[in-house]
């Protein structure tokens, strides 16, 4: 008898996570929420303790030929803080594990940890531990961030209600196009090392790729304005995929308008230059680390003049599906083509 073999690519990253989740049960009463949101929730009296892990792998998530080690250290903290922010929580501690080969010097790791320290200071979070191993396959970084949120302030992916307004912070698609530019300049350099990379006119999108920020500023501002998002997720895999997470977990449809998508001019111009439609970069690119959230319509007045919050559309009935109204007034389905690690 031959053993059954299913390719991971046939179930995808989310299919794989679902399979893991199906075989997990939560046995400690403190474990309120496990797999399935941006972070887990542990009961801690008036608060939830919030925990989330993320990995960065050389050759998968970063290329050291253009990723400065200091930025990499910063990004390792920022992407973990972003998942804490996505629960409307405040980060407090981080554990950071590294796998590193003797290709790296002590000085190089000092530079990496300068970036870690800068991010910890910026997000007011303490590096409280980790693990150090030798690695035979490139630089491996894994971190677990721990945060806290008042129970009545937590924002889950599942909390959206029909007619809620879909909001997003910042601008989207830049990190993806920044990566395309860095890859292109690397190829130019490899072909002709005399050629120096020309990155000046791409400074903003390159920075979006190399030094993303978690939007803790928005978490604090929403608290000050007394607005509680009904649901929230951070944008690590592209807007399309994240909208589908909100839709699925809130059991609703979503409707967004293409002309409401926030795109920076440099993102738009670079997309045009590279033949990548900026809407495609917004929906399917990744690593913007902005916050996607929904609000009750009653809260719109408080946010409507915010310079960095954009209103994309509405939560609809489930039967309406997940749709985008294009600039040409066509209605097209939103599909998940975001960053799935096992997609072929
Ligand atoms: P995010 O993009 O917000 O980091 P992911 O898509 O990586 O979220 O993960 C979604 C959920 O699945 C999270 O709750 C995460 O903790 C969980 N998860 C991902 N991989 C694993 C794994 N190997 N084992 C257990 N849980 C996992
Ligand atoms: Mg997330």
Q: Tally the domains of the chain.
A: 2
Do 114 and 221 belong to one domain? Answer: no
Residue 340 lies in a domain: no
Do 202 and 270 belong to one domain? Answer: yes
Residue 156 lies in a domain: no
Which is the closest atom of ligand 1 to the Cα of 83?
3
CA-CA distance, 187 to 181, in Å (whole number)?
Answer: 10
CATH number, domain at 124?
A: 3.30.1330.10
Q: How remote is the CA of residue 224 from the centroid of ligand 1, in Å?
A: 30
**Cβ(54)–Cβ(83) below 8 Å:** yes
In the predicted structure, residue 197 carries a pLDDT above the cut 80: no
Q: Residue 71: which domain range?
A: 8-150
Residue-level pLDDT at 1: 60
Owner of token pair 């031959």: 2
Do 144 and 177 belong to one domain? Answer: no
Residues at CB less than 6 angstroms from ligand 1: 17, 20, 35-38, 54, 83, 236
Do 176 and 317 belong to one domain? Answer: yes
Nearest CA to ligand 1 atom 1: 38
Integer angstrom CA distances of residue 16 from 8, 10, 31, 105, 157 = 7, 10, 22, 36, 19
CA-CA distance, 296 to 208, in Å (whole number)?
Answer: 30
User: Any bridge partners for residue 43, and if so which?
Assistant: 48
Virtual torsion, Cα 79, 18, 136, 71, nearest 10 deg: -10
CB contact set of 156 (below 8 Å; sequence gap of 6+): 33, 37, 87, 231, 232, 249
pLDDT average, residue stretch 12-38: 95
3-class secondary-structure state, position 254: strand
The predicted-structure confidence for 42-94, as pLDDT tens digits, reads as follows: 999 999 999 999 999 999 999 999 999 999 999 999 999 999 999 999 999 99
pLDDT confidence of 191, banded at 50, 70, 90? Answer: confident
User: Any bridge partners for residue 164, and if so which?
Assistant: none
pLDDT confidence of 210, banded at 50, 70, 90? Answer: very high
Other C-beta atoms closer than 10 Å to the C-beta of 129 total 11
Q: How remote is the CA of residue 53 from the centroid of ligand 2, in Å?
A: 10
Residue-level pLDDT at 339: 59
pLDDT average, residue stretch 244-254: 98
Do 75 and 208 belong to one domain? Answer: no
Nearest CA to ligand 1 atom 5: 38
pLDDT confidence of 205, banded at 50, 70, 90? Answer: very high
User: End of a domain among 100, 123, 150?
Assistant: 150
Do 44 and 120 belong to one domain? Answer: yes
Do 198 and 303 belong to one domain? Answer: yes
Other C-beta atoms closer than 10 Å to the C-beta of 344 total 8
The predicted-structure confidence for 138-178, as pLDDT tens digits, reads as follows: 999 999 999 999 999 999 999 999 999 999 999 999 999 99
Residue 1 lies in a domain: no
Higher pLDDT, 9 or 338: 9
**Share of residues in the chain with pLDDT > 70 (%):** 98
Record the tokens describing residue 289, joined without a space: 């680390």
User: End of a domain among 121, 150, 179?
Assistant: 150
In a mutational test of the pocket of ligand 1, which residue from 14, 15, 35 has the highest number of ligand atoms less than 8 Å from its CB?
35
pLDDT average, residue stretch 32-37: 97
Other C-beta atoms closer than 10 Å to the C-beta of 37 total 23
Do 28 and 62 belong to one domain? Answer: yes
pLDDT confidence of 343, banded at 50, 70, 90? Answer: low
Do 198 and 93 belong to one domain? Answer: no
Per-chain mean pLDDT for the chain = 95
Residue 159 lies in a domain: no
Residue 143 lies in a domain: yes
Q: How remote is the CA of residue 331 from the centroid of ligand 1, in Å?
A: 31
Do 116 and 34 belong to one domain? Answer: yes
pLDDT confidence of 3, banded at 50, 70, 90? Answer: confident
Residue 287 lies in a domain: yes
Residue 338 lies in a domain: no
pLDDT average, residue stretch 187-213: 90
Q: How remote is the CA of residue 117 from the centroid of ligand 2, in Å?
A: 22
User: End of a domain among 120, 150, 180?
Assistant: 150
CATH number, domain at 298?
A: 3.90.650.10
Do 314 and 222 belong to one domain? Answer: yes
CA-CA distance, 193 to 188, in Å (whole number)?
Answer: 8
């Amino acid at each position: 008898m031959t053993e059954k073999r299913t390719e991971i690519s046939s179930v995808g990253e989310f299919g794989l996570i679902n399979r893991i989740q199906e075989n997990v049960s939560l046995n400690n009463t403190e474990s309120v929420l496990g797999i399935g949101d941006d972070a887990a929730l542990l009961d801690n009296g008036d608060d939830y303790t919030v925990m989330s892990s993320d990995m960065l792998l050389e050759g998968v998530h970063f290329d050291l030929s253009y990723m400065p080690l200091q930025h990499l250290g910063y990004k390792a903290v920022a992407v973990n803080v972003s998942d804490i922010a996505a629960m409307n929580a405040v980060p407090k501690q981080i554990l950071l594990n590294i796998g590193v080969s003797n290709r790296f010097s002590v000085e190089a790791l000092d530079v990496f940890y300068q970036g870690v320290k800068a991010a910890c200071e910026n997000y007011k979070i303490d590096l409280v531990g980790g693990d150090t191993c030798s690695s035979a396959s490139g630089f491996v970084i894994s971190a677990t961030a721990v945060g806290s949120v008042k129970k009545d302030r937590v924002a889950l992916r599942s909390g959206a209600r029909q007619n809620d307004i879909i909001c997003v912070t910042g601008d989207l698609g830049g990190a993806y196009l920044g990566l395309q530019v860095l890859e292109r300049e690397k190829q130019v350099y490899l072909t002709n090392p005399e050629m120096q990379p020309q990155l000046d006119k791409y400074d903003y999108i390159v920075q979006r790729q190399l030094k993303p920020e978690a939007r803790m500023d928005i978490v604090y501002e929403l608290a000050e304005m007394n607005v509680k998002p009904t649901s929230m997720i951070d944008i690590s895999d592209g807007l399309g995929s994240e909208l589908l997470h909100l839709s699925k977990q809130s059991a609703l449809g979503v409707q967004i308008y293409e002309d409401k998508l926030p795109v920076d001019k440099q993102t738009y111009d670079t997309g045009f230059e590279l033949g990548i439609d900026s809407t495609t970069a917004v929906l399917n690119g990744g690593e913007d680390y902005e916050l996607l959230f929904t609000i009750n319509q009653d809260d719109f007045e408080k946010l409507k003049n915010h310079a960095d919050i954009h209103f994309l559309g509405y939560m609809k009935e489930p039967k309406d599906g997940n749709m985008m109204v294009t600039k040409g007034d066509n209605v097209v389905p939103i599909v998940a083509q975001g960053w799935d690690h096992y997609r072929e």
